[in-house]
């Protein structure tokens, strides 16, 4: 099968590598986002997909605006391919482009469609506390992740998985599912299944306000926000911003299957949390667990801050944070709104 691969971030690399190494696939070219400047430097940095494509001496197309780029459109029109494979490319494909390949444009989307259509399915399924998610391959249409579904693959989500962890799982799953999807398309044994639009949910792009922590929320909700929007969630402490990168939630009603995933040292401390009865002010430090870090009062339950990062500093464990700043019982973390 002759393919053109559309993708940009590291998430797409497993799928591109699969296409490059598979004996039945021939990648003719790669389409990716333009090089970008990172940090304070002036050097242009290629996307991870471009960097890999260059090592294989593949033609690389980097249109600023795909729909309007004459060079790219001419190349796509003149190159006979069986399918365009699209994984986290980052631009909308016009109907003309969708109609060019013989078998259409095949996308691997990081959710179980029609749930979590949109740009950030990994982040929002974690925020919502899901314990299972997966990948759906589909034939793309002009809508936002609305095309007919081809195959689905599933994976579990651990209580301590964050967006980075889950992305790694789904990237591997996407490559495997794309391989099966393309081979079955070639063999003409796949029957596309229309999505049920009445069951659709959406995963919009994240905005700055999504990262702000509010200690009136439950410990489990805060934990899901922090791991879902990793590594961006922010609170206030002693007048400055602090990122909260990893946490451990506790609530007397935490389901056994979730509680069993917590570290033993924290579980041993949980009877003390139950005895405290949730009477401390929101965001205040009620205890400091040796070797782990400070425990804060949430709107429901308690949250241990496992990894934190002060502005301009490296991430550090909650235990090192507590010792380095000499935290005291009763000190309080403010909401994220206080440092925006």
284 CB neighbour count, 10 Å cutoff: 16
Q: What CATH number labels 208-339?
A: 3.10.25.10
What pLDDT does residue 53 have?
98
| Mean pLDDT, the chain, whole residue set | 95
Q: Does residue 41 carry a pLDDT above 70?
A: no
What pLDDT does residue 319 have?
97
DSSP assignment, residue 205?
P
Mean of pLDDT values over 124-149: 97
Cα dihedral angle (208, 212, 218, 224), rounded to 10 degrees?
A: 50
Q: Does residue 327 carry a pLDDT above 90?
A: yes
DSSP codes, 121-158: HHHHHHHTT-SEEEEEEEE--SSSS-SPEEEEEEEE--
Which residue is listed with tokens 């992740």?
145
Q: Does residue 8 carry a pLDDT above 80?
A: yes
Task: Give tens-digit pLDDT for 290-304.
Answer: 999 999 999 999 999
Q: Where in the chain is the domain with CATH 3.40.50.170?
A: 2-199
Which pTM does this prediction carry? 0.95
What pLDDT does residue 267 have?
84
Task: Give tens-digit pLDDT for 47-105.
Answer: 999 999 999 999 999 999 999 999 999 999 999 999 999 999 999 999 999 999 999 99
Instruction: Determine whether the annotation assigns residue 113 to a binding site.
Output: yes
pLDDT tier at 272 (50, 70, 90 boundaries)?
confident
Mean of pLDDT values over 119-139: 98
Q: Where in the chain is the domain with CATH 3.10.25.10?
A: 208-339
Contact 300, 273 (CB under 8 A): no
What pLDDT does residue 128 have?
98
Instruction: For 2-199, give the CATH class.
Output: alpha beta
Q: Which two tokens stand for residue 285?
A: 């430090």
Instruction: Determine whether the annotation assigns residue 112 to a binding site.
Output: yes
3-state SS class at 192: coil
Rounded (to 5) percent helix, strand, coil in the chain: 35, 25, 40
Q: Does residue 331 carry a pLDDT above 80?
A: yes
Contact 175, 18 (CB under 8 A): yes
pLDDT tier at 279 (50, 70, 90 boundaries)?
confident
pLDDT tier at 37 (50, 70, 90 boundaries)?
confident
Sign of the torsion formed by the C-alpha atoms of 125, 126, 128 and 131: positive
Task: Give tens-digit pLDDT for 164-208.
Answer: 999 999 999 999 999 999 999 999 999 999 999 999 999 999 999
Q: Which of 211, 112, 121 is nearest to 155 (CA)?
A: 112
């Amino acid at each position: 099968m002759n393919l053109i691969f559309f993708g940009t971030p590291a998430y797409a690399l497993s799928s591109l590598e699969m296409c490059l190494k598979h004996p039945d696939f021939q990648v003719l070219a790669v389409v990716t986002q333009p090089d970008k400047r990172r940090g304070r430097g002036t050097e242009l940095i290629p996307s991870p997909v471009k960097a890999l494509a260059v090592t294989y001496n593949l033609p690389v197309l980097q249109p600023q605006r795909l729909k309007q780029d004459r060079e790219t459109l001419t190349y796509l029109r003149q190159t006979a391919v069986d399918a365009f494979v699209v994984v986290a490319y980052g631009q909308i494909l016009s109907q003309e482009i969708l109609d060019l390949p013989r078998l259409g444009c095949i996308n691997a989307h990081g959710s179980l469609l029609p749930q979590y259509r949109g740009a950030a399915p990994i982040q929002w399924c974690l925020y919502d506390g899901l314990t299972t998610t997966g990948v759906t391959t589909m034939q793309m249409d002009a809508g936002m992740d609305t095309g007919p579904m081809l195959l689905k693959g599933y994976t579990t989500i651990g209580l301590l998985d964050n967006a980075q962890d889950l992305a790694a799982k789904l990237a591997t799953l996407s490559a495997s599912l794309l391989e099966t999807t393309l081979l079955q398309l070639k063999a003409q044994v796949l029957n596309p299944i229309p999505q049920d639009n009445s069951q659709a949910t959406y995963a919009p792009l994240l905005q700055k306000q999504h990262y702000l922590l509010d200690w009136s929320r439950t410990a489990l909700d805060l934990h899901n926000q922090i791991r879902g929007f990793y590594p961006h969630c922010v609170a206030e402490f002693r007048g400055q911003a602090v990122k909260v990168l990893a946490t451990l939630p506790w609530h007397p009603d935490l389901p056994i299957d979730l509680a069993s995933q917590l570290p033993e040292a924290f579980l041993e401390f949980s009877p003390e949390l139950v005895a405290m009865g949730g009477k401390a002010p929101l965001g205040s430090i009620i205890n400091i667990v040796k070797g782990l870090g400070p425990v804060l009062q949430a709107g429901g339950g308690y949250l241990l801050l496992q990894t934190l990062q002060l502005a301009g500093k490296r991430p550090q464990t909650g235990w090192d944070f507590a010792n380095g700043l000499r935290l005291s019982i009763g000190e309080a973390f403010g909401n994220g709104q206080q440092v925006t």
